[in-house]
Amino acid sequence: CRAVVMFAYKGLSRRVACALRSPARVVLGIETSCDETGAAVMDETGRILGETLHSQKEIHLKAGGIIPTVAQRLHKEHICRVVQEALDRSGVAPSELSAVATTVKPGLALSLGVGLKFSLSFVKLHQKPFIPIHHMEAHALTVRMFQPVEFPFLVLLVSGGHSLLALARGVDDFVLLGQTLDEAPGDTLDKVARRLSLVKHPKCCSLSGGQAIELLAKEGDRLKFQFKIPMGQHYDCNFSFAGLRNQVTIAINKKEKEEGILQGQLLSCVQDIAAATQHTVALHIAKRTFRAILFCKAKGHLPQSNPTLVVSGGVASNEYIRETLRIVTDATGLQLLCPPSEFCTDNGVMIAWNGVERLKEGKGIVSHTQEVCYEPK
């Protein structure tokens, strides 16, 4: 009997030792959907082993907006270094990777092309599985790196290129409830900042348009300008920001005439315009989100216990918009969750995490020999 027990114990010990020696699966994530070149190496527990991010913000800020050909050139110049640095910091060799995950949609075509071309060459060279990533799905799932958020949950994605509301039912299962019909909120805030020439403001010269609006809005009076909230007569969950931008432009033109200044010069009331613009954007987002919550509750799409709204994307870093949404979630009994600000914007970490989630469930993984195309829209 003792011999049988010892044999079983030794067999168990060998299995435990083997499990301890077996390395956790590791994913390399690559992001080039717009103006950030990002790469990260992550294991299947969500531990970030190595990360590098090269931002093009300063160059595009000087140009007054993102120029696709410039973004493409900068991605080409930096992608090899960014990926190699992430690998070096992780201590993981390409041969030890379990898969490579890369953004293939949506985004700027020229930017997506750089990341995809590099990735396909990389996986063919090292014969690794490839995981094509939907950029918005990656934003939607980033919060699960930090908190155990169970499906289903409602997700609001707001950034410089997108705005949408969706019901997340699984790693690759999303029901789209609403999206922008024209431009994204981040794009609107950037264009208003550009029209106000905030890059010339001493407090804003190194900030993006959205950051400049948020900073100056803290000093402004949002009631000085009354902008109409978009789509008041449309009872759905879609967004529209182009009409609001037109309202703001008309107000700026009027104030320039009143103050006798030329376009390109700073108005005395930039803080008030910034505050009113931000407030109206926040209210529009909050109202559409409120409607999406009511719809999901009426249809039984959210769990009775601890229903959740996840907010992500670059605009989710805006504290005023976040607090406006908190009023909505407090009133409807949802918990509001956002990834840390540094993970709301584009980065390689969120792509690697989406790759990890897909790898665990065996979804969306293709062979290194398979051709994959990018999809800007």
CA of residue 175 relative to chain centroid, distance = 18
DSSP state of 108: -
Residue 20 has pLDDT above 60, yes or no: no
Residue 86 burial by Cβ neighbours in a 10 Å radius (0-12, 13-18, 19+): buried
Give the list of residues 6+ apart from residue 229 with CB closer than 8 angstroms, or none: 280, 283, 284, 287
- Pick the more confident residue, 160 or 333: 333
pLDDT digits (tens, 9 = 90+) for 205-227: 889 899 999 999 999 999 999 99
Q: Of 15-19, 162-166, 214-218, which gets the smallest average pLDDT?
A: 15-19
pTM of the model: 0.88
Number of H helices, E strands in the chain: 11, 10
Residues 6+ apart with CB under 8 A from 236: 178, 291
| Per-residue pLDDT tens over the stretch 101-139 | 999 999 999 999 999 999 999 999 999 999 999 999 999
Q: Which two tokens stand for residue 247?
A: 């309202």
Handedness of CA 121, 124, 127, 130 (dihedral sign): positive
pLDDT of residue 23: 63
Classify the C-alpha dihedral 232-191-216-254 as positive or negative. Answer: negative
